Amino acid sequence: MTTPREILLARRRAILADLDLIETDLDQTPPKDWEDRASERQGDEVLEALGNSELLELRRIDAALDRIAEGTYGECVKCGEDILPARLAAVPDTPFCNRCAP
Ligand SMILES: [Zn+2]
């Protein structure tokens, strides 16, 4: 059986690999052609937005891994109730139960 920790670590690795690709792509020298540069920049913004959302997810994953280490994983950080296993399975990095989820 796959533990939540394994799921979180696998997701973490995937994000880090993704972010690595994004960094590489952003670092590429812009094309010399002026018109190409405008569209290239738009692509960079999309990549940056994607990178930001992945960074946020990475933080949630790290926080969840911390809770596993502390033995509080699966408890809602807000009300302290147990988070439903189905919810944890769907969103392994969630710190909230169904009721406290924003
Ligand atoms: Zn709660």
Residue 18 pLDDT: 87
> Which amino acid, residue 3?
T
Residue 34 pLDDT: 55
Q: Cα(24) to centroid of ligand 1, in Å?
A: 40
Say what the pTM is: 0.75
Q: Cα(79) to centroid of ligand 1, in Å?
A: 4
Q: Cα(83) to centroid of ligand 1, in Å?
A: 7
> Cα separation of 37 and 19, whole Å?
22
Residue 25 pLDDT: 73
Q: Cα(54) to centroid of ligand 1, in Å?
A: 24
Q: Cα(5) to centroid of ligand 1, in Å?
A: 21
Strand ranges (E), the chain: none
Domain definitions of the chain by residue range: 4-74
pLDDT digits (tens, 9 = 90+) for 56-72: 999 999 999 999 999 99
Mean pLDDT (the chain) is 86
Q: Cα(95) to centroid of ligand 1, in Å?
A: 8
Q: Cα(14) to centroid of ligand 1, in Å?
A: 29
Paired tokens of 37:
């540069």
pLDDT digits (tens, 9 = 90+) for 22-58: 777 766 666 566 555 556 666 777 777 878 889 999 9
Counts for the chain of helices (H) and strands (E), in that order = 3, 0
Paired tokens of 41:
């920049």
> Which amino acid, residue 77?
V
- Reference 28, options 15, 49, 47; nearest CA is 47
